[in-house]
Structure 1
């Protein structure tokens, strides 16, 4: 049997503990990533929605302040919209607004306020119809699209 000094025994224990902790950290991170994937896969509007349009919201000088996204679910027959901040307005509390409706103005669904990430989601049933959609970031920069995503 090999005898170890007290110092050597401490180093062996430290290495075993480090190996054990590394394995536990790896297992925990794998569980967290695996657990997060299904939620992220659903998307902001729901699992049956597919993104059909991404539009930059820009000031008159061309500086981008936000993004307007439109999603559609053929199984639900609905469109969904969100407005995200961009640049100085991304991931920070700022005025964000989104409005969606059928092109005839009916079914209007708005959302606005001081949000960190995005305004929405908002929805409209518009199977076989065109929609109007509008995004604003911050409160004075707006993009409005009329008679789009006709289906």
Structure 2
């Protein structure tokens, strides 16, 4: 499994997700935000006009062949009710799943079955 690209969403302003850090997996048996059996495989910054507004996390379960994604607020958007969105789909655009709304902590989790396939993920954070 690998991520092919990070999609850009245009909602008022162009928001792009750019890679910043790839972190290791959680300890075996630990249940993370996507549930048990998921390992975090990517962490990406979400920026608007050069300012970081959020963090997009991607997780994978080899047991189910599913990917999971979440969007957290960052800085002024962290732990405050603000508009957050996360979308995940297979690289061919099929199987798309989105969660969006005014959340305090995060949008998601959203899932897609994509064992051995590329995926696309996106996740802006902004005030409304």
TM norm structure 2: 0.75
SS in 1 for 2:36: coil
Deviation at 1:43, TM superposition (A): 0.5
CA RMSD of aligned residues (A): 1.2
1:45 to 34, 38, 59: 34
2 CA distance for matches of 1:53 and 1:86? 16
Show the counterpart of 1:65: 53
> Highest relative contact order (Cα 8 Å, sep 6+), 1 or 2?
2
1 CA distance for matches of 2:95 and 2:48? 28
TM norm structure 1: 0.64
Point out 4+ residue stretches in structure 1 off by more than 4 angstroms: none
- When residues 133 and 64 of structure 1 are mapped into structure 2, their CA distance, relative to the original with a 3 A threshold, is same
Whichever structure has more strand as a proportion of its residues is: 2
1:122 to 101, 105, 110: 110
Within the alignment, does 1:112 sit opposite 2:100 as a pair?
yes
Within the alignment, does 1:83 sit opposite 2:71 as a pair?
yes
Unaligned runs of 5+ in 2: 1-29
Whichever structure has more helix as a proportion of its residues is: 1
